[in-house]
Amino acid sequence: MSTTTFQGLEVFYTRQQIAERVAEMGAQITRDLNGEKLVMVGVLKGAAFFLADLSRAIQADATFDFVATSSYGKGQRTSGAVRLIKDLDETIEGKNVLLIEDILDTGLTLSYLRKLFLQQRPKSLRIATLLDKPSRRLEKIEADYVGFSIPKIFVIGYGMDYAERYRNLPDICLMTAEHPE
Ligand code: IMP
Ligand code: MG
């Protein structure tokens, strides 16, 4: 695909492709829920748009909560250590929980959150990620719902950042070496 935005970034998934896939994921999650209630937990900040769109594609009696983590380090580098910056507002004990993330990369973040959440004994805990980079995995973890599986590339837009920028791009774009700033 050779579509470019006004900033000269290459588009990897268009907003239409994202919307279609998110609608499919929402329908699947709705079916799997079987009419039960759901707590959707978004991982700030990257999953904000995905949660906003996915939640509207899920037909359920639902509430939202958010957590935030940090992986010590800026840009494309991560040191491996995950820490919690913002905890859940409400307990998830006995609840059906859907943990919503933008990208499952090394798996460090979601492994950490899964372990933390399971301590509260939710009724069920499932993971939805918009993007998955299985070839980058360091921790053994898979999502229950995956939007798109992608190779080892760095993407930005639709919530995802490079050093906190580009989150507001409506499409998912490639972060190219020629475009570091
Ligand atoms: P993990 O802990 O390595 O699985 O990392 C997950 C987090 O790394 C995601 O929530 C993103 O914030 C960030 N991340 C990983 N790959 C990318 C990327 O290609 N673009 C932007 N952020 C990324
Ligand atoms: Mg993130």
| pLDDT for residue 3 | 62
pLDDT of residue 1: 52
Which ligand 1 atom sits nearest the alpha carbon of residue 160?
21
Residue minimizing CA distance to atom 14 of ligand 1: 103
- Model pLDDT, residue 179: 52
Of 93, 96, 43, the residue nearest 65 (C-alpha)? 43
Pocket-forming residues, ligand 1, beta carbon under 6 Å: 46, 78, 101-109, 154-156, 160-161
Q: What pLDDT score was predicted for residue 86?
A: 98
Give the atom of ligand 1 at the shortest distance from the alpha carbon of 108: 2
The first and second tokens of residue 142, run together, are: 């898979």
Residue ranges of the chain whose pLDDT lies below 70: 1-7, 72-79, 177-181
57 membership: H or E segment, kind and range: helix 48-57
Nearest CA to ligand 1 atom 16: 105
Q: What is the pLDDT of residue 175?
A: 82
Q: Whose CA is nearest to atom 19 of ligand 1?
A: 154
Around Cβ 21, how many Cβ atoms within 10 Å? Answer: 18
pLDDT at 59 (0 to 100): 98
Q: Which ligand is nearest to the CA of 82?
A: 1
The model's pTM: 0.92
Structure tokens of 61?
A: 């009696």
Closest ligand relative to 109 C-alpha = 1
Active site residue 53: no
Please tell me which residue in 65, 105, 132, 161 is annotated as part of the active site.
Answer: 105
Give the distance (Å) from ligand 1 centre to CA of residue 119: 24
- Going by alpha carbons, the residue nearest to atom 9 of ligand 1 is 103
Pairing of the two strands 172-174 and 155-156:
antiparallel
pLDDT of residue 71: 77
Q: What is the pLDDT of residue 156?
A: 96
